[in-house]
């Protein structure tokens, strides 16, 4: 086998943790994400609570998803929360104009979402409607959710079956306000943010963490204008959205399952753009907020391909290959390595939409390669970030090159060290010699995710083609940890 060498040095323990909220998820009223994903027909013969599918809940609980963003996306800016409360049969129907023009019956609303979060043991992150809603509407939604006082709106929540306040704290003030959220300029949005945020009140035990609608990819001016004009004290976070498009062309994104090495390489080039984005957005934030009080929240990310042939193009249903796993792992390494500023992120979009963790078909459910990456990486949640220096060989295709290996590391509360390494090279094994300065360890164990082909996927007939296996390619040699990373693989090691 072709092979090359590199090295990793863990240089010490940093002064911050990797926020668990980097491992967040996003679920929009889009395609088969909510309806037919989480919330299924009452006659579907699977275990359910109300209409919430419990096999999906159990799988997500296992990977400890820390937060769930809802109801959109673009849908958030046409969602009116009052339509989604009260007796289900009486709820108004609307057309989901962004996603397939289908009828939204509002059977999954505020109480259903919060019941789902409770089952998942995850924190809700609600995106409020700025685009087509009013300040009053957003303000009353928060009162409905969080107030324990006697007011008409708070009483409505009690009458609808939830006497206690929900205490929702993560609050998005609009979504993509530069685009589907209202086509605003950054200056206009800043003023809107201030109006909406002023009336988004804190209630006892529910101090809001307001997240401003941030930049589209490399729109650095958006970040600059928001940071300059919104006081740091007014926002907990500023968002940024970036999707990896295999071809780089939004009109013909590329297939999820059929691609050659050149397209794979190009996809990884586009994936690593995230490194440049978080570096440059963080640098702008540093200018106005040197103490790093405001979080950079990458609240939509992932690979976006052409939809699966034969599916509704407005539903954004795509398969998930080993390539997706390498994208997820590499992106999470980027977030971990920027965790001083990136303190929240949400993968788009959990079930049956875009880079999903789970795909369902009637009673069947499969875990995607991306799911397994989140399973491996959960050890980094709230662990102390470890500083690292990496020396990686190159992965070259057609005279262009990328670093073959990327890595991140942390130390958990019990003192265990975890290293996550990705080898994106499709052809070469890489041997990494690792030194851990000032950190003690005796034993090493690990897990690996790989497969024979970069295009391999899990299917309903072969659900475990790509799954986690024990990794035996790490050993101690002359005081160093030597790791042999197979081509196109993700490895997480635990050092005790």
Interacting residues with ligand AHR (CB under 6 A): 28, 72-74, 175-176, 300, 348-349, 354
- Answer yes or no: are the C-beta atoms of 337 and 408 closer than 8 Å: yes
Residue 199 C-beta: closest distance to ligand AHR, Å: 24
Q: By C-beta, is 79 or 272 nearer to ligand AHR?
A: 79
Please say which residue, 252 or 287, places its beta carbon nearer to ligand AHR: 252
d(CA 271, CA 269): 5
Question: Which CB, 300 or 425, lies closer to ligand AHR?
Answer: 300
Shortest distance, CB of residue 310 to ligand AHR, whole angstroms? 20
Nearer to ligand AHR, 81 or 385 (CB): 81
- Alpha-carbon distance of 126 to 141, in angstroms, equals 10
Question: In the bound complex, what is the minimum distance in angstroms from residue 73's beta carbon to ligand AHR?
Answer: 3
Q: CA 122 → CA 24, 25, 288, 296, distances in Å?
A: 9, 10, 32, 20
Q: Please report how many Cα atoms fall inside a 13 Å half-sphere around the Cα of residue 315, on the Cβ side.
A: 18
Question: Shortest approach of ligand AHR to residue 87 CB, angstroms?
Answer: 29
CB of 391 to ligand AHR, least distance (A): 36
Q: Report the catalytic residues.
A: 176, 300
Query: Which of 31/66 has CB closer to ligand AHR?
Result: 31
Task: Between 6 and 72, name the residue whose CB sits nearer to ligand AHR.
Answer: 72
Least CB distance to ligand AHR at residue 234 (A): 22
Which of 73, 84 has the CB closer to ligand AHR?
Answer: 73
ω before 349 within 30° of 0 (cis)? Answer: yes
Q: What is the CA radius of gyration of the chain?
A: 22
Q: Least distance in Å: CB of 207 to ligand AHR?
A: 26
460, 412 Cβ separation under 8 angstroms: no
């Amino acid at each position: 086998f072709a092979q090359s060498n590199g090295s990793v040095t863990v240089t010490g323990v940093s002064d911050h943790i990797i926020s668990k909220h980097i491992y967040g998820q996003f679920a929009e009223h889009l395609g088969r994400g909510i309806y037919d994903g989480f919330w299924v027909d009452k006659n579907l013969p699977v275990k359910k609570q109300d209409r919430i599918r419990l096999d999906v809940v159990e799988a997500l609980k296992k990977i400890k998803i820390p937060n769930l963003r809802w109801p959109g996306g673009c849908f958030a800016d046409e969602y009116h929360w009052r339509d989604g409360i009260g007796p289900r049969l009486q709820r108004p129907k609307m057309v989901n104009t962004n996603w397939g023009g289908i009828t939204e019956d509002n059977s999954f609303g505020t109480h259903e979402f919060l019941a789902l979060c409770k089952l998942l043991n995850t924190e809700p992150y609600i995106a409020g409607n700025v685009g087509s809603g009013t300040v009053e509407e957003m303000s009353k939604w928060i009162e409905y959710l969080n107030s324990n006082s006697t007011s008409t709106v708070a009483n409505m929540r009690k009458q609808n079956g939830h006497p206690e306040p929900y205490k929702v704290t993560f609050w998005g003030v609009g979504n993509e306000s530069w685009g589907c959220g209202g086509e605003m300029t950054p200056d206009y949005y800043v003023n809107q943010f201030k109006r909406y945020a002023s009336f988004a009140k804190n209630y006892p035990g529910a101090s809001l963490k307001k997240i401003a609608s941030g930049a589209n990819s490399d729109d650095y001016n958006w970040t600059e204008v928001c940071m300059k004009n919104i006081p740091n004290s007014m926002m907990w976070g500023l968002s940024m959205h970036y999707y990896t498009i295999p071809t780089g062309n939004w009109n013909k994104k590329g297939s999820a399952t059929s691609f050659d090495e050149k397209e794979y390489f190009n996809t990884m080039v586009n994936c690593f753009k995230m490194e440049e984005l978080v570096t440059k957005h963080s640098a702008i934030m540093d200018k106005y907020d040197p103490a790093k009080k405001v979080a950079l929240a990458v609240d939509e990310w992932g690979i976006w391909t052409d939809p699966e042939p034969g599916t509704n193009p407005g539903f954004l249903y795509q398969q998930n290959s080993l390539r997706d796993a390498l994208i997820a792992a590499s992106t999470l390494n980027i977030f971990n390595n920027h965790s001083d500023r990136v303190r929240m992120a949400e993968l788009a979009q959990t079930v049956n939409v875009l880079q999903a963790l789970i795909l369902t078909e009637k009673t069947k459910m499969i875990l995607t390669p991306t799911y397994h990456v989140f399973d491996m990486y959960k050890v980094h949640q709230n662990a102390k970030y470890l500083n690292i220096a990496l020396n990686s060989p190159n992965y070259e295709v057609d005279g262009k090159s990328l670093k073959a290996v990327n890595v991140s590391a942390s130390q958990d509360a019990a003192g265990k060290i975890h290293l996550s390494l990705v080898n994106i090279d499709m052809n070469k094994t890489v041997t990494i010699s690792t030194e851990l300065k000032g950190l003690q360890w005796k034993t090493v164990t690990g897990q690996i995710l790989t497969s024979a082909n970069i295009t391999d996927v899990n299917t309903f007939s072969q659900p475990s083609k790509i799954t986690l296996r024990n990794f035996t390619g790490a050993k101690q040699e002359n005081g160093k940890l030597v790791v042999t990373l197979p081509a196109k693989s993700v490895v997480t090691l635990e050092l005790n």
